Amino acid sequence: MHWTWSRLASLSAPDLHEALTLRARVFVVEQACAYQDPDRFDASSWHLLGRDARGTLVSGLRVVDPGTRYAEPSIGRVVTAPEVRGTGLGRVLFAEGLGRCLATWPGRGVRLHAQAHLEAFYAGFGFVRSGETHLEDNIPHVEMWRSP
């Protein structure tokens, strides 16, 4: 995998277009969830994009700065293309994103606002539930926390 770790303003127009296209493909079309995916947090976030050996964007996530959404940094918009699911890329992506988050803000905890069906996945990285399950855009979500 080739990783790009960048602020939104530093992404090229093609990178930004591909990232938003992948997110819309999964979060809006595949999950049949009509909502405003690009939001006010994108502009002030770090974006991790993963490209395969052919240069195709197949994964990504964003990290929102501490003090913007939560007191601590938060990882969200974790996405893998449908054609690479089941290959372990989701774990590789999340490990890369968490590592960059911890390196950028050493000694800080990290928060997630996760789809509830992925709670066990994130628990494998040391995250624990920190709130009740609730609906967001008709999808059950839960807040999770990883201590420093």
pLDDT tens figures, 79-92: 999 999 999 999 99
* Amino acid code (one letter) for 46: W
In 3D, which of 104, 127, 105 has the Cα closest to residue 116?
Answer: 127
Angle at 3 between CA 78 and CA 147, to 5 degrees: 50
Q: Can you give the pTM of this predicted structure?
A: 0.91
Please give the residue that has the higher pLDDT: either 39 or 107.
107
Calculate mean pLDDT across residues 111-131: 94
The pLDDT assigned to 126 comes to 97
Percent of the chain past pLDDT 70, that is, above it, reads 99
- Ramachandran sector of residue 126 (left: φ over 0; alpha: ψ -120 to 50; beta: rest): left
Please give the residue that has the higher pLDDT: either 100 or 36.
100
Domains of the chain, each with CATH number or no CATH: 2-146 (3.40.630.30)
Is residue 125 over pLDDT 90? yes
Calculate mean pLDDT across residues 5-30: 90
